[in-house]
């Protein structure tokens, strides 16, 4: 049976992980390759490296990071953050990324999704959608959640899938950083509208939140960053919990 995936997100700046790393026995906690190795040993299903710098120096550091992580990890690796062009995507793939995640660039240049899908396959193209609740639905925001757009989340997800995106990384801006739970309504609305997998993001705080987003939210995968730093065996424990509550996971 197809497993629900747990995806860890590493926010990386100039080659260092910048968000909430607190493994006590990991002296070089900021080293993404060490953290990735740790996650892998705990059974994470996939990794996302999010570049939060997007400067020229940051890009070089990012390529080194992707190389270091992909050399020893044999699980899917997605790279996002500041991928704006065919060349940015090519650099990420050359360094060892399996997927690139596009957000603002896909909104401003939707054919980019199709060009990348034609060149690398749809499985390598993730569209990242940042959405916020509005009166009637869910509005899409660009530029890291800062810039409003005239698009609705469900409509944009359907269009992006039609243009060649192979997965949707759906972040609830309302829930991001709150640890109040994923937005299951948003996730279910998008997941029901498309046939490609939906990765839910934003709001993870407890094991129950993951259970809810996989069942009520109909998510195919769930992504979190700092929640996996809660304890040393968070991922293994979470998987055991999900398995015991009837959610299929890889173990």
Partner 1 sequence: MIALVDYGAGNLASVRKGFDAAGAELFTPSAPADVAAASGIVVPGVGHFGATAALDDNWRAAIRVAVGAGTPLLGICLGMQWLFDGSEEAPDLAGLGLLRGNCARLRPGEAAVKIPHVGWNTLSMTGASPVVDGLEPDSFVYFTHSYAVPVTADAVATCTHGQTFAAIVATGHVFGVQFHPEKSAAAGLRILRNFVAMCDAR
Cβ nearer to partner 1, comparing 26 with 75: 75
Name the segment binding partner 1 (CB under 8 A); options: 16-24, 50-58, 73-81, 103-111. Answer: 73-81
Question: From the list 24, 56, 150, 195, which residue makes contact with partner 1 (rule: CB under 8 A)?
Answer: 195
Question: From the list 22, 28, 55, 94, which residue makes contact with partner 1 (rule: CB under 8 A)?
Answer: 94
- Is there a contact between 44 and 8 (Cβ–Cβ < 8 Å)? yes
Question: From the list 71, 85, 185, 245, which residue makes contact with partner 1 (rule: CB under 8 A)?
Answer: 71
Question: From the list 30, 76, 152, 205, which residue makes contact with partner 1 (rule: CB under 8 A)?
Answer: 76
Q: Is 42 in the site for partner 1 (CB under 8 A)?
A: no
Q: Is 214 in the site for partner 1 (CB under 8 A)?
A: no
Q: Is 93 in the site for partner 1 (CB under 8 A)?
A: yes
Annotated active-site residue 130? The verdict is: yes
Angle at 126 between CA 122 and CA 130, to 5 degrees: 150
Which listed residue (45, 88, 130, 212) is catalytic?
A: 130
Q: Is 61 in the site for partner 1 (CB under 8 A)?
A: no
Q: How many of the chain's residues bind partner 1 (CB under 8 A)?
A: 31
Directed axis angle between helix 184-193 and helix 207-215, to 10°?
Answer: 30
Name the segment binding partner 1 (CB under 8 A); options: 19-27, 107-115, 190-198, 234-242. Answer: 190-198
Q: Is 88 in the site for partner 1 (CB under 8 A)?
A: no
Question: From the list 88, 130, 167, 183, which residue makes contact with partner 1 (rule: CB under 8 A)?
Answer: 167
Question: From the list 68, 112, 157, 196, which residue makes contact with partner 1 (rule: CB under 8 A)?
Answer: 196
Footprint of partner 1 on residues 120-139 (CB under 8 A)? 120-124
Q: State phi, psi for 71 to the nearest 5 degrees.
A: -70, -30
CA distance 247 to 179: 21
The residues annotated with a catalytic role in the active site are: 11, 130
Residues of this chain that bind partner 1 (CB under 8 A)? 1-5, 40, 45, 70-72, 74-76, 93-96, 98, 120-124, 166-167, 195-197, 220-221, 250
């Amino acid at each position: 049976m197809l497993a629900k995936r747990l995806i860890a997100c590493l926010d990386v700046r100039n080659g260092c992980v910048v968000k909430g790393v607190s493994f006590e026995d990991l002296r070089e906690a900021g080293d993404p390759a060490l953290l990735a190795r740790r996650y892998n040993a705990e059974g994470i299903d996939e990794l996302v490296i999010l570049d939060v710098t997007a400067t020229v120096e940051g890009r070089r550091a990012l390529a080194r990071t992707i190389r270091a992580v992909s050399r020893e990890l044999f699980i899917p690796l997605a790279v996002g953050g500041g991928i704006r062009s065919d060349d940015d995507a090519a650099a990420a793939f050359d360094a060892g990324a399996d997927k690139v995640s596009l957000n603002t660039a896909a909104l401003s240049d939707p054919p980019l999704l199709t060009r990348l899908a034609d060149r690398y396959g749809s499985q390598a193209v993730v569209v990242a959608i940042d959405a916020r609740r509005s009166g009637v639905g869910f509005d899409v925001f660009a530029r890291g959640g800062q810039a409003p757009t005239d698009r609705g989340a469900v409509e944009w997800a359907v269009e992006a899938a039609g243009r060649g995106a192979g997965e949707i990384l759906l972040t609830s801006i309302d829930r991001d950083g709150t640890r109040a739970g994923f937005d299951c309504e948003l996730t279910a609305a998008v997941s029901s509208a498309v046939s490609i997998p939906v990765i839910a993001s934003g709001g993870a705080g407890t094991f129950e939140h993951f259970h809810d987003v996989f069942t009520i939210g109909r998510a195919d995968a769930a992504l979190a960053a700092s929640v996996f730093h809660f304890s040393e065996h968070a991922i293994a424990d979470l998987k055991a919990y999900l398995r015991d509550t009837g959610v299929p996971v890889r173990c």
